[in-house]
Amino acid sequence: MKSWRRNLVIAILLVGLGFAGYFAFMSWTGQNEVLAISAELDRTEPGWRFEDWVKRIGNVSDEENSLHVVQALSAKIPRTFTHDPTDPNYKPWEWTACPTPNRLFDPHWIDAMRQHLGDFPERAELLKRLAERPNGRHFYPIAANPMTILLPHFDAMYTTNLLLELEIFEGAGQKPADEIVSYHHAMLNCSRIFLDEPLMISQMMRNAKLSNTAKMLQYVLGVSKLPAAALEEIQKRWTEEEAYPAHRIGVKGNRALQDLFYRHLAAGKISYAEIGQMPGMMGAKTRASFLPVPALGFYLSSTHHASHAFVLKADNRRLAALDAPIFEQRKILEAIEKEGEKAPPLASTHNNLRSANLDTFLLSSAKQRAVVSALAVERYRLRHGKYPETLDAVVPEFLPKLYDDPFSVQPLSYRKTADGAVVYSKGKDGEKSGDFHDRREQKEADPDDQDRALEFRLWTPDHRRLPPLERKKETEP
């Protein structure tokens, strides 16, 4: 009996030593791989690390920083205001009051928005200053756990964006064109407060607010008359925005942030117990949830170098994929995401939003390209008195070349409508036809329908500035 017990203990010890040796080998090989990848990045991309990036981009002076203006505007808005739909004080701006951008917004809703957002004497001056400042910068300390960086400027951007919506709804078609254009520039600059902030979430928020700015520009063109010079200036700014590499900056920023996370983990600045409590880290726990905390810590510590190497290689491949034509990027990036299913424990927790990121950036690219192309079409109408029969007609007088559709190998689509024209992407399924606003007018499309992001609609002068819909009691704010 004693011999049996002794042999069992020896067997358990041998198995334990085997596992320990295996994990030690994995840790050693992973660490060497991280060192090799980091050395190559130091050679090819000097300053790629997160702390170097933060130092390098901190060059916007206080006098030029649009974020300071956004924060000043947000501070003036009553604290009872909220954009959280779960908050009892939340009051949505019903698109049922303005189903299509060529129809004036219900003045009852404008009064309600003004009352809700408040009024203050500095408003006009601050909005003017925001229109003149295209660059922003948020300074934040590098925390011990860099994955928990707080971004308080997001809320300021939301509230300022709503204030600008109000100014445009209230002023479009009534105030001078240069004042409305100034509101547009301010809204565009509100989206740019992130500049090249090295965080994927920041670049996604930039794109989200740009989509909203495009929506409001569509409203301005649907109810106002802008001169050719103003259209040309707006098109120039959107052309610059379309060329901005938001997706690339987001991937580079995430690579740098995750590298910092793993370096802090190796240095003991972050405990394994702490990362187990982080949102989104459940993937690492569930694979070994049966282990006690000390064993779980050993398991994660033995694989974190492999995870570190995995995320660096994956993001390097994502960046290489962004060099491909835009319509080919989806296939390449989706293959990388598929491989992420076999990622080491910690690395698997960083891949849960990748596919969503891809869709966000492709949709944003489609929208921005449609905006620039539609502005060229509108400038063509002002010059020739009618919309072109085909999109090729605006090249090269108003557009250097046609943009590709991010979802296909073909250029963006265009067609004349009974009351104007529309530039659109055919979308992921290749079947979109730029009919969102037709369906919206008939109340067959939800105002948050993703199809809206795929098109930019224009109306002929006789179909612009339609009166507001008759207000119904159930739609009162």
Report whether pLDDT(335) > 70: yes
Q: Check if the beta carbon of residue 404 is closer than 8 Å to that of residue 410.
A: yes
Region of residue 427 (left: phi > 0; alpha: psi -120 to 50; beta: else): left
Can you give the pTM of this predicted structure? 0.87
Is the link from the previous residue into 92 a cis peptide, with omega within 30 of 0?
Answer: no
Residue 446's pLDDT is what?
Answer: 62
164: its two tokens: 């600008």
* Annotated domain spans of the chain: 2-44+250-351, 66-244+359-470
pLDDT for residue 259: 93
- The encoded tokens of residue 215 equal 């929506």
Q: CB of 456 within 8 A of CB of 422?
A: yes
How high is the mean pLDDT of the chain? 81
pLDDT given at position 20: 62
- pLDDT of 364: 92
**What is the β-pairing status of strands 420-424 and 455-459?**
antiparallel
Q: What are 140-164's pLDDT values in tens digits?
A: 667 777 766 767 788 888 889 888 9
Please give the residue that has the higher pLDDT: either 295 or 467: 467
Residue 230 pLDDT: 96
| Amino acid, single-letter form, for residue 423 | V
Give me the mean pLDDT over the 445-460 stretch.
79
Query: What is the C-alpha separation between 394 and 386, in angstroms, rounded?
Result: 12
Residue 290 has pLDDT above 50, yes or no: no
Residue 3 makes CB contacts below 8 A (sequence gap 6+) with none
Give the pair of three-digit tokens for residue 334: 């989706």
> 464 is written with which tokens?
């612009």
pLDDT-derived band at 316 (thresholds 50, 70, 90) equals: very high
| CA gap 354, 250 in Å, rounded | 11
User: For 57-70, what is each residue's pLDDT tens digit?
Assistant: 666 777 888 888 99
Over the stretch 163-218, which tens digit does the pLDDT of each residue have? 898 899 888 878 899 999 999 999 999 988 887 788 888 888 899 899 989 999 99
Rounded to whole angstroms, the Cα distance separating 391 from 472 reads: 40
pLDDT score, position 426: 92
Residue 472 has pLDDT above 70, yes or no: no
- Is 402 or 446 the better-scoring residue by pLDDT? 402
> Out of 108-117, 296-305, 314-323, which region has the weakest mean confidence (pLDDT)?
296-305
